[in-house]
Structure 1
Amino acid sequence: MLTNIMYVTLYVTDQDRALRFYTEQLGLEKRIDFPNPGGRFLTVGVPGGPVEIILWAHAAAAGQPAEVVPGATPGPVILESDDLRADFKVFRDRGVTFDKPEPEDYAFGIAIEAVDPDGNRISLRERGRAGRGDG
């Protein structure tokens, strides 16, 4: 069963400027700042709140990344599940289209990408034990 909205992605042209705005001007806290070959993964969130905003860099465009890099560019909506493999079967049976035949294991947990009728990517995730804060 889906349990939470994990991330919301905002496309920004300058991650450092966006980070200053969201932390210094709006009072959000920086949660994750992880540089990697697919792009800097930078998030902010309300102190104590469960939802994080991904500040994803891209060239100026109306809410869309300049280039989608498979496996590196997140879906515009990321939904969290407490049992993604079970939810995947239910959603597949309901006709949801996925990018892979089964959810995959990653360092952060389990993930798979779905697509809505308009072609928007929806990331479905289940956090690993370390990501849950319970070990």
Structure 2
Amino acid sequence: MKIHLSSVFVDDQDKALRFYTDVLGFVKKTEVPLGADRWLTVVSPEAPDGTELLLEPDGHPAVKPYKAALVKDGIPAASFAVDDVPAEFSRLRGLGVRFTQEPLAMGPVTTAVLDDTCGNLIQIVHSE
């Protein structure tokens, strides 16, 4: 068994697609119209047939309070692996990305947490 799809709830799919592709560097994999929304996924350019991230609309009544509680408590909605957290932090900060946690080394793991502009905190991580 392997993970095929994961999702992050977003407040605006167009804004999310721009952020996740233009800023984070993912590529669009699937876009299927579903009424006012879309089945919209992105993947890593390094693994185009790998795990897809669904940019899922946050219209369900339970989602906005859930997202707000996670952000309030500083809990990331997702975690993405990078080769070098400080370098990615510098690159993203240079693009105007807001971080809620600067790079932090915890033994063999280094993390940083960013705001995805769509109502979520996202962790970037590297482990040795």
Class of the TM-score when normalised by the shorter of the 2 chains: 0.3 to 0.5
Bigger radius of gyration: 1
TM-score by length of 2: 0.44
Higher helix content, 1 or 2:
2
